[in-house]
Amino acid sequence: MRDTLLIIEDEKLFSTELARHIEGARWRVERARSLAEASERLEGREPLVVVSDMNLPDGNALDLLEDWQAGLAEQPAEWIFLTGYGTVPNSVRALRLGAFDFLEKPCALERLDLAIAGAARSARAQRRLQDRTTRANRRYAIDAFLGESGAAREVRALLGKLSGLRLSTLLIQGETGTGKGLVARILHYNGERASGPLVEVNCATFSRNLMDSELFGHEAGAFTGAQSRHRGLFEQARGGTLFLDEVGELDTSLQAKLLKAVEDHRIRRVGGEQEIEIDVQVFAATNRRLSLSEGPGGFREDLLQRLSVFVFELPTLRERIPDLEQLVPAMLAEFDAESGNRVTEIPTEVWDRLASYMWPGNVRELRNVIERSVLLSTSGVLDERWLQLRPETTTSEGCTDAPSISIPLDGGLSLDEIEARIIGESLALHGHNVTATARALGTTRQTLRYRIEKHGIRSTLIAG
């Protein structure tokens, strides 16, 4: 299918000559002789390139470009202006409005061909970027953080609030696999910079020297093997978001350069002499509490303060067990589509195993479990044998003097009653200290408090 090019030109002979020449280059050409006619042509149609005279009988074509950009345009297009008497104000305004080129009549057809070819490449690239952004906006809507637990609802509420703010920096904290990357993408694609790039890097995957070049770029000859200039991730993320995963793994010297870049909005390539202005919001993520220290393995306090303009704490999957009811079917549907299998039934015993597991790898581990189970399935049932969950261990394993609880298994107690009794006796054994009890039971304080409230356990609790 041929791309469309619109010619806006009131001189009929010149317009016909242009159209005949451009159609020979496999374009579908439409023509308009006035701004009013051009507006009709543009409405509902999306030409890839517009070639327009500057001054038309009913006004200046720059006004049409400005109006089109303000509301008519659904897809990007590049505009090339032709004029027999160009003026400095018009050329300046054309460039300010984003015109691709500004040519004076008479213009050699070879020169026009080059301008049209360049404009077409630029417009196609913009449309590909717009398509990717549109797909990402749908994929990374705020509702993409699934779950109806209190913890999941709090995360979505916070995402909704933060997506409306102009953030300079954000620190996302949470265990491995809790969804830090998902949160970064949701905030980017629902924020003011959604049309800009999202550039992601894991700081633990590069050595100190490579990370320096990766983040800030380098000039040709800056070091052995640097044969050409390289634009670093800060430059690549200009106008968008730079997501630094595992930021705690950054070398201390790079932390100082990162602090300067975030504070001054300027960087200098490795081997470069000039500072380059950057317009980037920085999201950083870590799966551990950053140890404040100037020494090896530590983290600069001034950088932590700068990154911590807002800290986003993500809950573990252990704190979101009710969310399995949404997460598991969603993952089943995803991996069913990829594998061609149709796993739709989840037996009760599988649900019980999933709900009772501690999920040390969080949502990422759950994805791996569901993907494996779908791929190995030979029926429409999620088979328990493919879960292959890690065996549970406790701190008292192998210790003969560890505190114990005796529960009669004669059928006289329901599961809820057994759970309530375990929690109540564990609290008594640990002096009603919630933190110590949660640690002994292998759960979190939040989950334990939820269970205490659920079973109505009366106890003088100590936060610990």
What is the domain range of residue 212?
Answer: 146-313
DSSP secondary structure, 97-117, as one string: TT-SEEEESS--HHHHHHHHH
Whether 462 is in a domain gets the answer yes
Which helix (H) or strand (E) segment holds residue 282: the answer is strand 281-286
Whether 395 is in a domain gets the answer no
Written as six digits, the tokens of 280 are 């980037």
Whether 394 is in a domain gets the answer no
Distance CA(319)–CA(147), nearest Å, equals: 11
CATH number at residue 411: 1.10.10.60
Whether 232 is in a domain gets the answer yes
Tell me whether strands 59-60 and 55-56 are parallel, antiparallel or unpaired.
antiparallel
Whether 178 is in a domain gets the answer yes
Looking up tokens 């449309």 gives 127
CATH number at residue 193: 3.40.50.300
Q: Which of 344, 361, 386 is the last residue of a domain?
A: 386
Distance CA(93)–CA(127), nearest Å, equals: 24
CATH number at residue 362: 1.10.8.60
Q: Which of 358, 386, 414 is the last residue of a domain?
A: 386
| Cis check: omega of the bond before 360, within 30 degrees of 0 | no
Same domain, 188 and 249: yes
Query: Nearest 10 degrees: CA dihedral of 360, 363, 367, 370?
Result: 70
Q: Which of 135, 169, 196 is the last residue of a domain?
A: 135
Cα 65 to Cα 47, 60, 83, 124, distances in angstroms: 13, 9, 15, 18
Same domain, 203 and 70: no
Answer whether 280's CB lies under 8 Å from 293's CB: no
Cα 272 to Cα 62, 206, 218, 256, distances in angstroms: 39, 21, 7, 17
Same domain, 375 and 458: no
Same domain, 217 and 289: yes
> How many independent structural domains does the chain possess?
4
Distance CA(429)–CA(436), nearest Å, equals: 10
Whether 141 is in a domain gets the answer no
DSSP secondary structure, 305-358, as one string: HHHTTSEEEPPPGGGGGGGHHHHHHHHHHHHHHHH-----B--HHHHHHHHH--
Q: What is the DSSP letter of 289?
A: P
Same domain, 416 and 297: no
Distance CA(54)–CA(11), nearest Å, equals: 12
Distance CA(361)–CA(363), nearest Å, equals: 7
Whether 321 is in a domain gets the answer yes
Whether 74 is in a domain gets the answer yes
Distance CA(163)–CA(445), nearest Å, equals: 29
Same domain, 39 and 161: no
Cα 267 to Cα 254, 259, 274, 388, 443, distances in angstroms: 12, 10, 9, 48, 45
Same domain, 232 and 212: yes
pTM: 0.61
Same domain, 373 and 421: no
Same domain, 229 and 328: no
Which helix (H) or strand (E) segment holds residue 12: the answer is helix 12-23
Same domain, 8 and 106: yes
Question: What string of pLDDT tens digits covers the 464 residues of the chain?
Answer: 678 999 999 899 999 999 999 988 789 999 999 999 998 888 767 889 999 998 888 988 898 888 887 765 667 889 999 887 666 777 777 777 788 888 888 788 888 999 999 999 888 888 887 777 667 667 889 999 999 999 999 999 999 999 989 889 999 999 999 999 999 999 999 999 988 889 999 998 888 888 998 999 888 877 777 777 788 899 999 999 999 999 988 888 899 999 999 999 999 888 888 888 999 999 999 988 776 654 445 788 899 999 988 999 999 999 999 999 999 999 999 898 888 888 889 999 999 999 999 998 999 999 999 999 998 888 888 988 889 887 753 333 333 445 667 676 666 677 777 888 888 888 877 777 777 787 778 777 777 887 888 888 865 555 55
By CB neighbour count within 10 A (0-12 exposed, 13-18 middle, 19+ buried), where does 179 fall? buried
Same domain, 171 and 274: yes
Same domain, 419 and 449: yes
CATH number at residue 58: 3.40.50.2300
